[in-house]
A and B are shown apart, each in its own frame.
Chain A
């Protein structure tokens, strides 16, 4: 069976996979990194979003072997070095940007990708960027508010609905 190697959250990893093994499966089943959630497995929900070479991708829609040699970032690598929550994660907590938390890993990874390319997004930019991330709990307002806050913008005018 084929061998795959990739850097995940800064650490070198490798394993034996099948051709059909998805990146989500490699992360969760081979590496035990179950923070990447599989919600729909049909490319619709975005719970499985990780970064591959810096780009947000749905890990349920890319083969592990396609990421061979890549630099992968998952939710497990997002906290600060001392273990405290990073700015985006802390903003989700402060602004009640999650309820059950199932969508949250994908939301945080998408938010990180957005803020890297657009450090001061408008509310509309945030909503458009999250089109592929579905949340069944929050109604999105507080997720948008958290991301706006994480970008350092004043969110007092954004209503907590």
Chain B
């Protein structure tokens, strides 16, 4: 790891200022960034820790009924504090990695990284959540722009994520046992005005919505509703763990399981 200067501001305003300098980078829980720094994949001059910013931590029900989660909130905190408000989201957080990863890793770090096999992107896209930064609000449909690519500008900080709470929801993760990420994962959320289905771990373009399943499930929220659909293997990930065809098959199986578990 190359050396860097470490700063730990106490407010979003000070963090934004520190990140405005050349070659500064945000540090969330470090569960992705520190291993990347060890591999010398990045060489920031300054690391700006977000862990000392109280206004970016915690879970609360906002006035408009959405669930607001601070960008520096750890997975373990979401698992416990979101449980009463949005059980499917809390359950997803409680199965990320392992306990030590959950004690450090944050929702903001996960979304900024946008790993194609990460869990939170599926919840954010599947819930139609809003990613709030220090400068603007970004709708989930505009936020995810491909593998490890997002709408964030350099130095922009995810300060909060706002989740509309669905009537029913469930996340099904087919675990890749060595990494503990999703080999494929499907998040299904049923709202009064329709169903959203988000798929992670499968596409070379990162998380995506399976719109045919959304239409079918909006008409009939049952596993049988997606039985007749097929998922194209085009553009799905091929690696030693699974072929595109295998992942396409998993998308349908996991969608059915998620609907059955949510219903």
Instruction: Tell me the A residues contacting B by CB distance below 8 Å.
Output: 2, 18-20, 22, 41-43, 46, 49, 55-58, 60-63, 65-66, 68, 110, 113-114, 129, 131-133
Contact = CB atoms under 8 A, between A and B. Distances in A.
B73 interface: no
Given A19-B5, A19-B47, A42-B38, A61 B99 contact: no
B41 interface: no
B93 to A, nearest CB: 14
Contacts of A58: 100-101, 104
A132 B103 contact: no
Given A42-B35, A43-B35, A132-B98, A56 B103 contact: yes
Given A19-B3, A56-B100, A58-B104, 15 more contacts: A20-B2, A20-B3, A41-B38, A43-B101, A46-B98, A49-B100, A57-B100, A61-B30, A61-B31, A61-B34, A61-B100, A110-B99, A110-B100, A132-B101, A133-B98
Binding site secondary structure of chain A: mixed
B100 A63 contact: no
Interface of B: 1-6, 8, 27, 30-31, 34-35, 37-38, 47, 49, 51, 76, 97-101, 103-104, 180
Nearest to A52: B103
Contacts, number: 75
A65 B35 contact: no
The interface centre, meaning the residue of B30, B38, B49, B98 with most chain A CB atoms within 10 A of its CB, is B98
A19 B48 CA distance: 11
B4 A19 contact: yes
A110 B31 CA distance: 17
Given A49-B100, A131-B180, A132-B99, A43 B6 contact: no
A113 B101 CA distance: 13
* Nearest 7 A/B pairs, CB to CB: A132-B98, A19-B6, A55-B103, A131-B98, A20-B1, A65-B6, A19-B4
A65 to B, nearest CB: 5
Contact of B104 (A2, A57, A68, A131): A57
A45 to B, nearest CB: 11
B2 A63 contact: no
Nearest to A56: B100
